[in-house]
């Protein structure tokens, strides 16, 4: 509740929360949606959410308020979608944790995770005009702390929502490991009937530069309107606040610690671009909706898989370390086309003997490149042939992180021999036959 002065003004003009208004004060005019007063907010400062997603507080004294349009739905209907609007599709919004729902803790100065998914709807009232949104909190985990069990819950809940009549699913998640999660869901979900859109925020919603608003709005448009039947990530495509791209869940990577357009396609192009108005431009081929069967979640995952980086001076004993712990699979981030230190001056630094031993003991070993862009190839150099002959699976143009997730999923669902055979066969768009060069570093 605002203070008496504001409440009186609103009542006199028949304005309710979430209605669109124009506020004029002096020479300035602001348009937006009337937001509820925040707990710490001044009772005499009216908060409206502008069309660019940013909130502005206006001291009521001397301000003139006009009503532009009534909210499509009252708050309680909007939040619970209890009385859906017939012209809008139903989508599910699964909240898992992460910056998009973060608030600053003013006591410590740090940022911590909120646990109320409905608050996202309060923050982005525009969602109510895009779809009938069913929100559900399915976890409260920062993405850096996620393990495969968290991905399994997401897969199960996404399948349940789609099978329950949702046109699409939006999953809000922390950005740190969003691309690991999108890869996991890509493998886990079978027979998708609609888009599963992962999104989040690089900057928390209390900051002027927050990106969560546009990301959520664009994700809701994609989930409710697009005919894409794939898992992907929808985040800013440029450092401007103008549009998002939707990138296949197995061809995407967080490439910057803080930029809003941190998520980039690697060895691929964005599937689509979308703006806050809901205009969708398709940019590449994709799997379309049309399946009428049930969506299935194959969420089993073998956690005894490791991702290991090879580099000058790196210790090959790490292969033996994981074998000793009973691991079933190892993905190596090799150098260049898929090398490991081998013919080094220091014999203890040669990886081939350890790798051969591991393979002989039934461990599946896959090779990727720390270059990230491009494709590993065991046919160019003699030492690569030796690795290939030892039984290392060269993972084509797959990202190291994706190969790691894929191998864990394969070993969770298939016997080792079968998993090994499937590792460099395309399942969910993670391998492309020809690498397109359109998306490379500037």
Under rule CB under 8 A, residue 417 binds a copy of itself: no
Distance CA 93, CA 100 (A): 13
Query: Could you tell me the smallest distance in angstroms from the CB atom of residue 405 to a copy of itself?
Result: 8
- Within 46-85, the residues that bind a copy of itself by CB under 8 A are none
Cα separations (Å) of 106 from 58, 111, 120? 22, 9, 20
Cα separations (Å) of 116 from 18, 27, 368? 19, 38, 39
Query: Could you tell me the smallest distance in angstroms from the CB atom of residue 299 to a copy of itself?
Result: 14
Under rule CB under 8 A, residue 441 binds a copy of itself: yes
DSSP lists the bridge partners of residue 132 as 90
DSSP lists the bridge partners of residue 22 as 31, 66
Under rule CB under 8 A, residue 394 binds a copy of itself: no
Binder to a copy of itself among 83, 136, 385, 418 (CB under 8 A)?
A: 385
Binder to a copy of itself among 56, 74, 85, 371 (CB under 8 A)?
A: 371
Nearer to a copy of itself, 291 or 377 (CB): 377
- Within 112-131, the residues that bind a copy of itself by CB under 8 A are 112
Q: Which tokens go with 415?
A: 């016997």
Pairing of strands 252-254, 263-265: antiparallel
Concerning whether 99 is annotated as a catalytic residue, the answer is: yes
Under rule CB under 8 A, residue 433 binds a copy of itself: no
Residue 351, exposed/middle/buried by CB under 10 A (0-12, 13-18, 19+)? buried
Query: What sign does the CA torsion over 8, 57, 20, 23 have?
Result: positive
Nearer to a copy of itself, 79 or 250 (CB): 250
Binder to a copy of itself among 126, 275, 289, 383 (CB under 8 A)?
A: 383
Query: Which x/- pattern, by CB under 8 A, does the window 161-200 give for a copy of itself?
Result: --------------xxx--xx-------------------
Give the range of 72-80, 277-285, 306-314, 414-422 binding a copy of itself by CB under 8 A. 306-314
Indicate which residue of 176, 211, 302, 397 is catalytic.
176
Specify the DSSP class assigned to residue 238.
S
Angle at CA 375, nearest 5°, toward 374 and 377? 145
Distance CA 153, CA 185 (A): 10
Under rule CB under 8 A, residue 221 binds a copy of itself: no
Give the range of 81-89, 129-137, 423-431, 434-442 binding a copy of itself by CB under 8 A. 434-442
- Which has the closest alpha carbon to 31: 11, 56, 2? 56
- Within 252-291, the residues that bind a copy of itself by CB under 8 A are 254-259, 262, 264
Nearer to a copy of itself, 130 or 340 (CB): 340
CB 21 within 8 A of CB 46: no
Concerning whether 254 is annotated as a catalytic residue, the answer is: yes
Under rule CB under 8 A, residue 149 binds a copy of itself: yes
Give the range of 1-9, 22-30, 45-53, 337-345 binding a copy of itself by CB under 8 A. 337-345
Query: Could you tell me the smallest distance in angstroms from the CB atom of residue 5 to a copy of itself?
Result: 37
Binder to a copy of itself among 19, 333, 354, 430 (CB under 8 A)?
A: 333
Q: Which tokens go with 203?
A: 């900057």
Buried-exposed string 376-394: b where 16+ CB fall within 10 A, e elsewhere: bbbeeeebbebbbebebbb
Under rule CB under 8 A, residue 107 binds a copy of itself: no
Concerning whether 172 is annotated as a catalytic residue, the answer is: no
Binder to a copy of itself among 190, 241, 315, 357 (CB under 8 A)?
A: 315
Distance CA 278, CA 28 (A): 29
Query: Could you tell me the smallest distance in angstroms from the CB atom of residue 432 to a copy of itself?
Result: 14
Angle at CA 137, nearest 5°, toward 135 and 139? 155
Angle at CA 413, nearest 5°, toward 169 and 339? 95
Residues carrying an active site annotation: 99, 175-176, 254
């Amino acid at each position: 509740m605002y203070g008496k002065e504001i409440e009186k003004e609103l009542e006199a003009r028949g304005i309710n929360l979430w209605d669109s208004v124009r506020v004029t004060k002096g020479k300035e005019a602001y348009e937006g949606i009337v937001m509820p007063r925040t707990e710490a907010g001044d009772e005499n400062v009216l908060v409206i959410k502008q069309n660019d997603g940013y909130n502005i507080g206006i001291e009521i004294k001397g301000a003139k308020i006009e009503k532009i349009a009534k909210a499509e739905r009252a708050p309680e209907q909007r939040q619970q979608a209890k009385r859906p609007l017939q012209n809008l599709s139903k989508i599910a919004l699964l909240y898992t944790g992460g910056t998009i729902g973060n608030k600053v803790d003013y006591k410590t100065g740090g940022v911590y995770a909120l646990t109320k998914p409905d608050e996202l709807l309060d923050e982005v009232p525009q969602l109510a005009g895009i779809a009938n949104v069913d929100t559900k909190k399915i976890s409260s985990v920062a993405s850096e702390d996620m393990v495969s069990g968290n991905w399994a819950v997401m897969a199960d809940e996404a399948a349940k929502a789609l099978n329950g009549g949702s046109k699409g699913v939006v999953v809000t998640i922390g950005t740190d490991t969003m691309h690991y999660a999108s890869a996991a869901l890509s493998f886990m979900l079978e027979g998708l009937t609609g888009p599963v859109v992962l999104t989040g925020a690089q900057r928390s919603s209390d900051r002027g530069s927050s990106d969560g608003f546009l990301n959520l709005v664009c994700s809701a448009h994609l989930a409710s309107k697009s005919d894409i039947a794939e898992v992907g990530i929808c985040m800013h495509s440029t450092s401007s606040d103008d549009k998002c791209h939707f990138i296949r869940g197995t061809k995407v990577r967080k490439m910057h610690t803080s930029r809003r357009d941190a998520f980039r396609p690697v060895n691929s192009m964005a599937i689509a671009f979308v703006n806050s108005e809901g205009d969708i431009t398709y940019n590449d081929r994709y799997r379309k909706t049309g399946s009428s069967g049930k969506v299935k979640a194959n969420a089993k995952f073998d956690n005894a898989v490791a991702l290991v980086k090879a580099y000058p001076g790196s210790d090959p004993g790490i292969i033996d370390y994981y074998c000793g712990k009973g691991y079933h699979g190892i993905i190596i981030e090799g150098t260049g086309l898929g090398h490991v230190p081998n013919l080094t001056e220091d014999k203890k630094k040669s990886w081939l003997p350890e790798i051969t031993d591991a393979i002989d003991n039934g461990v599946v070993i896959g090779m990727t490149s720390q270059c990230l862009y491009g494709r590993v190839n065991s046919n160019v150099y003699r030492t690569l042939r030796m690795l290939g002959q030892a039984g290392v699976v060269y993972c084509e143009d797959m990202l190291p992180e994706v190969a790691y997730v894929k191998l864990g999923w394969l070993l969770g669902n298939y016997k080792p021999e079968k998993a090994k055979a499937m590792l460099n066969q395309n399942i969910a768009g993670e391998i492309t036959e020809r690498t397109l060069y359109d998306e490379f570093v500037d």
